[in-house]
Amino acid sequence: MSDFPRPVIRPRRLRSTPAMRRLTAETRIHSAQLILPLFVREDTSEPLPIQSMPGVVQHSIDSLKQAVTDAASAGLGGVMLFGVPAARDAIGSGATDREGILNRATRVAAAEAGDALVVQSDLCLDEFTDHGHCGVLDAAGRVDNDATLERYRDMALAQAEAGSALLGLSGMMDGQVAAVRDALDGAGYHGTAILAYAAKYASAFYGPFREAVDSQLTGDRRTYQQDPANRREGLREATLDLAEGADILMVKPAMSFLDVLSDVAELSDVPVWAYQVSGEYAMIEAAAAHGWIDRSRAVHESVTGILRAGADAVLTYWAMELARNVG
């Protein structure tokens, strides 16, 4: 037998059994770290399946109630609401209509949830405009940043009045956090928090979401969402949102931008979240349906990776499934 020196340091000792691996895990998923996105459609009386996102539906107002109750019972941290209106126009009038689908859904969800979880609402115009952009357009067809901020201010007041505890500013307009904070504070909504989508990239992984909200977009959003090639820019955007008063920062998507997520988490003195977007969900579901990957392990690993990179919480369409499995 060879007399070469035997290793003294043996990291494998801590991988020897399932119990040992569980005990020494550095990253854990807890249900309170999970936020469930929910789509609420105006012109339906029952949940409608989203073909590109198996297991995800567009809710009716009635089915939303049960979804929120289930989310609270599972111990989720929150739900993020997206509205799917029956009619759209150039300025997204439905977004500020008290009886618009998102504001109605927010009132229902807030009443159903009570203090059991945080009801959040998407503050962006893309679901409500007939051109599908996240803001209003100028005469040349370009997104007008400052005119859009005025619409965001009005949206913020409508959503706060409806009972949203946390406004998800996802439009990537310059100055949006400062504009919304000023509007909220001016109207006395000092306790309404702002989730800034600080680093949101013009990603190829949003495709299924477009079906989920029945997007009317033609063209792309590259003049306001970030270039996927840029890492430092994500940090710059996060720094600006912190200075403007964001309560929480978001990186979106998660999977392709774990380096940006890590950078922002290193910088931030407020919570940092990440959005595991529709394309990430659809890829795993499609591969698993073909038997190419172990679905359960892939779901768990994907969210673990996001948390490991620095996220304090994750928006994921698997929130309910994970909560049942991890506690």
Residues assigned a catalytic role: 200, 252
- What are the tokens at 43? 């012109």
Place of tokens 């150039």: 90
64 contacts: CB under 8 Å, gap ≥ 6: 38, 40, 105, 108, 109, 112
Residue 253: cis peptide before it, omega within 30 degrees of 0: yes
C-alpha angle 173/175/177, rounded to 5°?
95
Place of tokens 């459609």: 41
End-to-end CA distance of the chain: 49
Kindly tell me the burial class for residue 125, based on how many C-beta atoms sit within 10 Å of its own C-beta (0-12, 13-18, 19 or more): buried
3-state secondary structure of 5: coil
**Do residues 224 and 134 touch, judged by C-beta distance below 8 A?**
yes
For residues 252 and 37, what is the distance between their CA atoms, to the nearest angstrom? 14
For residues 68 and 119, what is the distance between their CA atoms, to the nearest angstrom? 9
For residues 323 and 250, what is the distance between their CA atoms, to the nearest angstrom? 21
Q: How many CB atoms lie within 10 A of CB 26?
A: 7
**Residue-by-residue DSSP string for 193-255:** EEEEEEEEB--GGGHHHHHHTT----S--TTTSBPTT-SHHHHHHHHHHHHHT-SEEEEESSG
